[in-house]
């Protein structure tokens, strides 16, 4: 019998993607549980969402560590204590080092508000508007040591309207993030994702 996946979710902000994951677990879409929600921001609304759902939370202050590796080792220690086997980045605003990424090789997921490899990094929606593209979207990918260069799991396109602002485009993209992020996590938990040569194959698709 396959062991249920234990998710560890890293957050910094309001946690809308975290909420979509919580709701998807509650509805049975994702066969997993959230073992811990960790934040580098004591005031993150995401922590309140997790508390409300009865999920353990912890604020780990990066300022208490003189070295980034020590901070990340603390994250790893807490994730290990919670038996986490899939790390979910849900608006976590810190870049992870090779130390962390190698420890959880092919076990870290992120969602990015563009159709990668277009517009990686910060301000993806602003990049899209500045480039004048007609279609943007969102991408769920495994995290590697590059900036948004990891193997792509799922993508969904979102049309860019002539009157779009950064906020309006971001809002419509976020709606689709809330759909495809839980779907990607579910595929992982069902053992349906195979990574080879920096590409993801979905079993049965």
pTM of the complete model? 0.96
Contacts of 134 (CB under 8 A, 6+ apart): 159, 160
Q: Give yes or no: residues 90 and 156 share one domain.
A: no
Backbone phi and psi for residue 144, each to the nearest 5 degrees, phi listed first? -120, -165
Q: Give yes or no: residues 114 and 27 share one domain.
A: no
141 assigned to active site: no
Domain boundary among 71, 104, 137: 104
Residue 154: is its pLDDT beyond 80? yes
Query: Which residue's structure tokens are 């994730």?
Result: 79
Task: Provide the CATH number for the domain around residue 123.
Answer: 3.40.50.170
What pLDDT, on the 0 to 100 scale, is given for residue 1?
A: 44
Range of the domain at 46: 1-104
Tell me: the pLDDT tens digits for 90-103?
999 999 999 999 99
Q: What mean pLDDT do residues 60-68 have?
A: 95
Q: How far is residue 180's CA from residue 192's CA, in Å, rounded to a whole number? A: 15
Tell me: the pLDDT tens digits for 7-23?
999 999 999 999 999 99
Task: Single out the catalytic residue among 99, 112, 141, 178.
Answer: 112
Q: How far is residue 49's CA from residue 158's CA, in Å, rounded to a whole number? A: 27
Backbone phi and psi for residue 39, each to the nearest 5 degrees, phi listed first? -135, 150
Q: Give yes or no: residues 51 and 70 share one domain.
A: yes
């Amino acid at each position: 019998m396959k062991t249920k996946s234990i998710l560890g979710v890293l957050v910094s902000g309001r946690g809308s993607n975290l909420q979509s994951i919580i709701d998807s677990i509650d509805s049975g879409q994702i066969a997993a549980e959230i073992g811990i929600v960790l934040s580098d921001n004591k005031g993150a609304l995401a922590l309140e969402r997790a508390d409300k759902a009865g999920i353990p939370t912890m604020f780990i202050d990066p300022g208490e560590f003189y070295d980034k590796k020590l901070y990340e080792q603390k994250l790893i220690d807490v994730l290990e204590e919670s038996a986490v086997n899939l790390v979910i980045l849900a608006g976590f605003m810190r870049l992870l080092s090779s130390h962390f990424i190698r420890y959880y090789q092919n076990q870290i997921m992120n969602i990015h508000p563009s159709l990668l490899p277009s517009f990686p990094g910060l301000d993806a929606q602003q990049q899209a508007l500045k480039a004048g593209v007609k279609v943007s979207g969102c991408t769920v990918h495994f995290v590697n040591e590059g900036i948004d260069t990891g193997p792509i799991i799922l993508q969904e396109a979102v049309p860019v309207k002539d009157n779009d602002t950064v906020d309006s485009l971001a809002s419509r993209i976020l709606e689709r993030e809330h759909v495809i992020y839980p779907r990607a996590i579910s595929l992982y938990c069902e053992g349906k994702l195979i990574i080879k040569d920096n590409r993801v194959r979905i079993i049965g698709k």
